[in-house]
Structure 1
Amino acid sequence: MSLEQPTALILLNMGGPDSLETIEPFLYNLFSDRELIQLPMGALLQKPFAKLISHFRSKKVRESYKYIGGRSPLLAWTRKQAVGIAERLGGHIQPFVLMRYWQPRAAEVMTQLKKAGIRQAIVLSMYPHYTGATTGSSINDFEQHAEKLYPELSYQVIDQWYDWPGYVTALASRVEEGLDNFHELMRDDVRILFSAHALPQKFIDRGDPYQQQVETTARLVMERVGNYRWSIAYQSRSGPVKWMTPGTDLELIRLGAEDVKSLLMVPISFVSDHIETLEEIDLQYRMLAEQHGIAHFFRAPSLNDHPDFLEGMAGLVRERCQI
């Protein structure tokens, strides 16, 4: 790939509602994606089921978004990440963001690229750990729209980076920052709980490497952090399907039963703050931990636009794209 001509850096992410009024259509887009959620009775009824589920679920989700200010911060953080990575790459790199389930979506981004006369792109998934449910769906969405709307676009895809040293080092630094919240006299007794987004177990059973990659990332981080007891759990489990285990809620209860008093939670499959960190961890899991005797509960800061993370991601692009 030659950087003598304008090059787009396109970050792929899930997206989130930008107002309380857009929660329901966002959920409809999400539940309509059979690569992510296969609702019963086949593809023909996927969208009617999605319409029904998104309507009723939006009422509950609305309260969660009210708690964090009425909108998802995911787009703002992803834009900052795109700009920060592009600046570190220099040259003719121009940042773009493409969201899977809310704006800006693939058709809009293709129009922007054509209008700007950009004919080559680096496509970077912001999911560190690969599963067809998230990474695969986002890449398929990009490729289908590129083929249909902008077949002249030449691009290279970076689809997973769970063991990239720049990412692991940045995450380890956030863990160390989180540990600084504990008094030095209790720091040796702090338990660390990595919390990744859960998937239905069927994705793991079919061969997706997601769980293995999450475990590898956690191990590599702890090799840098030092001698603490730690475990992994999976959050955001909902609906009547078999999910990956252990669930984060059940792991918190288990740790409380072990008389753990000091706990640092580390969001591992999220590279920026959004509803799962700001409301699910910071509110729901904090309350659950306190109810089960975990008196000192903190969350490690998210990666967001920390300079070490952005530099690490720029290094990833340089190596994978040989620029």
Structure 2
Amino acid sequence: MIKDLPYFLIGLAAEKLKLDDQLAATRSDASASKEGRILAQYEISNADQIAAAMAAPDVKRPEPEHFDAILLLAHGTPDVLGEMDEYLKLVTGGRGVPPHVVHELQERYAEIGLREEPTPEGPHLTRWTLLQGKLLQQRIGTPVYVGMRNWKPFIADTVEQMKNAGVKKIRAICLAPQNSRTSVGLYRRALETAAAGAFEIDFVAGWSEHTLLVRAFAEKMRKAYETALATGEKTAVLFTAHSVPCRTIQAKPSEHHGMMLTTDADTYAIECKATAKHIAEELSDILDESNWFFCFQSQGLSGGPWIGPGVPDLLAALKQEGYTRAVLQPVGFLCDHVEILYDIDIDFQKLAAEIGGITVSRADSLNDSPTLIAALADLSRRGVRSLPTHPAQQPQTPAEVLLTLAPLEETQPVSA
């Protein structure tokens, strides 16, 4: 019974109910939702999916638009351990972090394969993002560029390449599907500053409910969850997203990395939960509503609280509720990088061992998922015109913001 759950789990259940209301308020009728779910089926090569799409009611899709190039935007990551200090200065807007934090992060990156000298395959985030760009270009036949905000290839350098190539009109897609001032907003500003009006930019900000994105996540989770269920143990699905400072999502002027951000309420938390809800809906044949949860991970140091609840508290509560397995899936990350390979695969494993009696696993990352590439192809051709209306476009109330707050100890390291 919900009344018997720990307090913050009651809060999670309440958030689910609020999200239900927000989603329902944006849909005029059930058919609109159905049409949204079958949109872009043509992108998938699976015969059963094609047959299902052909049998479904016709959906009028927007006509593709033409762009000289597509630009994929990502966070960036250092190529070698010795670049960590310089990299963190870029992440923190020039402020940098204490030497002991630099050292700690170097140790974390070393555990996932980063070395003092460049490796042939390169760091995970860079390698996978460049491959995603290559696969997308092969699929759509339009030049695809990749730019990173905090490391090479820098957005500014990629923009210069496009200028030299004579590009006049681009579509930019941020590889952070959930819109946030602390991520998407800063990517957009970096791009517009570098371009300086040299070409026309159509910026895709927020595609958290894209049908094919949801399906790509669901495909990975289905395999992981079925594996866990086969053990016969009581298993929870835990969807996660990267935490952000509380001050950056509240409806008031906010400073982040030396810049004043807009005064509108940030929709990031709601969009993350919407993605998770849609994935759960895709898995409703095997995943009961009562067995999936949502929380935030990878909180960092910013001089104040970050949104929560966090993974440690939720894992402890799940154990109290009788769960012996938890299958995690980050819904805001499109490929392997430190927040997955270290935070989940190493740190959360240690955490589970300390709690005792609960086993943690995760769904594979999307990486080179054909369904993810299909989603990017659809965005490249049609932008957000084929997306359902975002419930997150409704202003977030102060009560909902407070529900997500979680204190952060000053001693916690910066999340990279």
Deviations 1:184-217 (A, max 9, x none): 2526x31001111001112222210001111111
Q: How far off its partner does 1:2 sit?
A: 6.2
1:102 paired residue among 147, 151, 154: 151
Which residue number corresponds to residue 295 of structure 2? 233
Query: How many angstroms apart in 1 are the aligned matches of 2:127 and 2:244?
Result: 25
Query: How many angstroms apart in 1 are the aligned matches of 2:321 and 2:166?
Result: 60
Which residue number corresponds to residue 406 of structure 2? none
Q: Provide closer, same or farther for how the CA distance between residues 294 and 118 of structure 1 changes in structure 2, counting only shifts above 3 A.
A: farther
Deviations 1:220-252 (A, max 9, x none): 110111233111111111224111110112212
* Secondary structure of residue in 2 paired with 1:16: coil
2:310 paired residue among 244, 247, 259: 247
- Once structures 1 and 2 are overlaid, which stretch shifts more, 55-64 or 190-199? 55-64
Query: How many angstroms apart in 1 are the aligned matches of 2:165 and 2:100?
Result: 41
Deviations 1:50-95 (A, max 9, x none): 13x15442111000000011164111111111111222212xx111
Does the alignment pair 1:17 with 2:78?
yes
Q: How far off its partner does 1:322 sit?
A: 7.8
Which residue number corresponds to residue 30 of structure 2? none
1:132-281 equivalences under 5 Å are 132-147=181-196, 151-182=197-228, 184-186=230-232, 189-206=234-251, 207-226=265-284, 227-228=287-288, 229-239=291-301, 240-281=303-344
* Secondary structure of residue in 2 paired with 1:283: helix
Q: How far off its partner does 1:116 sit?
A: 1.9
Q: How far off its partner does 1:8 sit?
A: 1.6
* Secondary structure of residue in 1 paired with 2:306: coil
Deviations 1:240-296 (A, max 9, x none): 411111011221222223231011011111111100000110011012113223443
Q: Which runs of 5+ in 1 are unaligned?
A: 33-46
Which residue number corresponds to residue 37 of structure 1? none
Greater Rg by CA: 2
The percent identity for this pair of structures is 26
Q: Provide closer, same or farther for how the CA distance between residues 174 and 27 of structure 1 changes in structure 2, counting only shifts above 3 A.
A: same
How many aligned residue pairs are there?
298
Q: How far off its partner does 1:9 sit?
A: 1.2
Does the 8 A contact of 1:15 with 1:103 survive in 2? yes
Query: How many angstroms apart in 1 are the aligned matches of 2:300 and 2:204?
Result: 30
Query: How many angstroms apart in 1 are the aligned matches of 2:229 and 2:385?
Result: 45
Which residue number corresponds to residue 68 of structure 1? 112
Aligned CA RMSD, in angstroms, stands at 1.9
Does the 8 A contact of 2:348 with 2:360 survive in 1? no
Q: How far off its partner does 1:177 sit?
A: 1.7
- Once structures 1 and 2 are overlaid, which stretch shifts more, 269-278 or 220-229? 220-229
1:286 paired residue among 349, 367, 371: 349
Q: Which runs of 5+ in 2 are unaligned?
A: 1-63, 116-122, 252-264, 387-416
Does the 8 A contact of 1:156 with 1:321 survive in 2? no
Does the 8 A contact of 2:168 with 2:200 survive in 1? yes
